[in-house]
Structure 1
C-alpha cells in the first residue's frame, strides 16, 4: 500500500489548490494531493490502486502526453481537457504534464478546473433553457387565451338566463367561473408581456433603477428589513429599456424580501444592492470590453436545493402562492439587453448577479 508519507518531499503539494498526481513509469498513481482527492472524489488509498488509464473514460489524449513525458520529449505540456468519469460529472480542466528527473516517479500532472469553460457551459444551458421557455410560454399562453374568452362569455350569457327565483344562489357559481377566467387571463397576459410590448430604448442609469426598486421594497416592508447600497458611481449610462430593468430588479428583490419573512420578524433581515464594472467578459458567447455587474444579495434561508437548478423555469416557485413567473420574466428582460442572470445560493446568502454589456 502506497501512502502519502512515503514521499515526504511531496507533502507540501497538499497546500496547493490545484490537483496534483505523481505517476510511475507505468502510469500508476504514487501520490495525490488533497485537491486531487477532492477533484477526483476518491481517497489516496483508492487512487494508489489505479493507473492513469483507469481514472477517465476518455483519457487517451492525456495518456499519450504521459508517454511523451516518460520519454522526455518535453519539459512540460499544457492543454485544456474535458475528462469523462463513470457516473459522475465531466471535468473541465487545464492540465499541465511535467517530466521529472526521477526514473521512479517520472511524471507529475497538475489539473486546474477551467472555470471559464464551466461558466460558458452553464450560460449555454441557460440560453437553451430560456429559448425553450419562451417557445413554451408563447404556445401555452395562446392555447389558453382562445378558449378563455369563450368560457367567460358563456358564463355571462348563462347568468343572464338564470331564473329570477334562483338568481342569488346560482349567480355565485357563474361569478366563480368569470372570476377564475379573469385570473387566468391575467396570468396569460403576464406570460405574454415580454413578447407583446415594444422594447423602449433610452439612456439608463442603473442606480436610478436600483433606487426606484429600493423605494418600492421599503414601502412594502417598512420594518425589520435593512437595505444596503454599495454603488460604483462611475458606472456609465447605457442604452436600454428602463421599465424592463426596473421590473427585472424588482422581481428579484421582491422574491428576496418575501424569503426574508422570518428574519424580518426578528429584525435582522438584510438586502444589498451592489454595482460594479467587470472588464473583458464573455456573455452568451460574445466578448465585451465592459459590463455592468449588479448583485442583489439577501441573508435569507437560501433557495431550496430541489428547485435551485430550475428557478428560471416558468411556473416554478419556492413559496406557497407564488406564480413562478417573476424570475422567468426577469431573465427574459435581461436577455433582451444582451445580458445574463446568474445565481449562487446557500443558507444565509443568496446572490443574484445581473451582467449587462456597457458601451
Structure 2
C-alpha cells in the first residue's frame, strides 16, 4: 500500500507491464499525460497505443533482448484531445514483481517549460496589479478633491447655464472613478462554497444564448465525474462571462459562433510554486479569427484591447478572479481556434 502511495505521488508518469506487454499498473501522472483513465487502459496491450512517433513494441523488444533500459527522447504522444505532448520515455525490464515485467517512465519535456512560462505570467500579472493599485490610489485622491470643489462651486453659482459646467465636471469625475474601480476588479473577498462547475457553465451558456440567439452553436464536453470545487459563484460566473463575451465579439462578423466548453481533471498539477493533487480544467474554445500575435503578450494587461471600442478590462478582471481562487488562466490561439483555459484547485 505504501509503495502504491509513493508511485501515485510521483510527478513522472509510471506504467507497469506484464510479460505480454499488457498494462497492469498506471499512476495518476501517466493517466493525466495520456488522458486515459486507469479503468480504460488496464489490461490493454501498450502496443494498442502505438503512434507514428512512439514504437512501443520495437522499444520493448529491444529492452527485452538487451536486458537494459532503453531511452527515447522527445517523442510525441497522442492524446485524446488531439494535442500532442512531448515526452522522454524510459523502458526498463525488471524482475517480475507482482506480475510486472517492464516499467515505463514518461517524463514530459514540455512540463518544465510550461511551469516556467506560467510562473513568468503570474509574476507579470502580479506586477501589473501592483502598478494598477498604486495608480488607482494616485488618481482617486485628487478626483475626490475635484468633485468636492465642483459641488461647492455649484452651490455658489447662480441658477442657470453655469451650473451645467459643474455638473459635467462631477459626472466625468464619477465616470473616471468608476473606471478606476473596474481596473481594480472585484474588491470583495471571495465567499468560497462548494460548487458544481457544470451548473456554473450551464448558467453562463444560458446568458450567452439570450445575447447571441441562434447564431450561437454550443458543444459540451463535460467530465461528469468531477467533484465539487470551492469557489465564489458570482465571481466565477463573471470571469466566465467575460471570456464567453469576448468569443461572441470575436465572431460577430461570422455567420456562426461555434463555442465548445470542456471540463477535465488534472492530477499532480503545478500552479505557480504549488503542486496540487487535483485540479479542475475548464476550456472555452471559439472559432474566431484568433488573437493577433502583437497582443498575445499583453492579453491580460488592463486597458489593452484589440477592438477600437473595447476597454481591455474583461480578461484582466477574469484573470484577477481566477488568481484570487488560487488558479490560473491562460490562452492559446491560432486562426480559427482560440482556447482559454482555467485551472482551479479542487482541494478543500
> How does the TM-score come out when normalised to structure 1?
0.65
Q: 2:223 aligns with which of 229, 232, 237?
A: 232
The one-character-per-residue Cα deviations of 1:9-68 (angstroms, maximum 9, x if unpaired) are: xxxxxx869xxxxxxxxxxxxxxxxxxxxxxxxxxxxxxxxxxxxxxxxxxxxxxxxxxx
Q: How does 1:144-293 map to 2 (within 5 A)?
A: 144-164=139-159, 167-168=160-161, 170-194=162-186, 196-263=187-254, 266=255, 268-293=256-281
What pairs up with 1:301-316 in 2 under 5 angstroms? Answer: 301-316=289-304
Offset of 1:286 from its aligned partner? 2.1
**Equivalences for 1:48-59 in 2 at 5 Å?**
none
Pair 1:295–1:78, CA change in 2 (3 A): closer
- The alpha-carbon deviation at position 298 of structure 1 amounts to 0.7
SS at match of 1:222: helix
- Rg larger in structure: 1
Show the counterpart of 1:358: 346
Within 2, Cα distance between the matches of 1:179 and 1:325? 21
The answer to whether 1:130 aligns with 2:125 is: yes
Q: Structure 1 CA distance, aligned partners of 2:309 and 2:170? A: 21
Count of aligned residue pairs for this structure pair: 256
Aligned-residue RMSD, C-alpha: 2.8
Q: Which has the higher contact order (CA 8 A, sep 6+)?
A: 2
Partners in 2 of 1:78 and 1:136 — Cα distance?
A: 46
Are residues 113 and 281 of structure 1, via their aligned partners in 2, closer, same or farther at CA, if it must alter by over 3 Å?
closer
Partners of 2:71 and 2:334 in 1: CA distance:
38
In structure 2, stretches of 5+ residues that fail to align are 1-51, 55-68, 75-85, 91-106
Residues 289/93 of structure 1: CA separation in 2 closer, same or farther (3 Å cut): closer
**Corresponding residue of 2:3:** none
Measure the CA separation in 2 of the matches of 1:297 and 1:78. Answer: 33
Change over 3 Å in CA distance of 1:78–1:348 after alignment to 2: closer
Provide the C-alpha distance between the structure 2 equivalents of 1:232 and 1:151, rounded to a whole number of angstroms: 54
250-259 vs 211-220, greater mean Cα deviation: 211-220
2:185–2:320 CA contact under 8 A, matched in 1: no
Instruction: Give the CA deviation at 1:192.
Output: 3.0
1:121 to 116, 125, 128: 116
User: CA shift at 1:345, angstroms?
Assistant: 0.6
Is it true that 1:345 corresponds to 2:336 in the alignment?
Answer: no
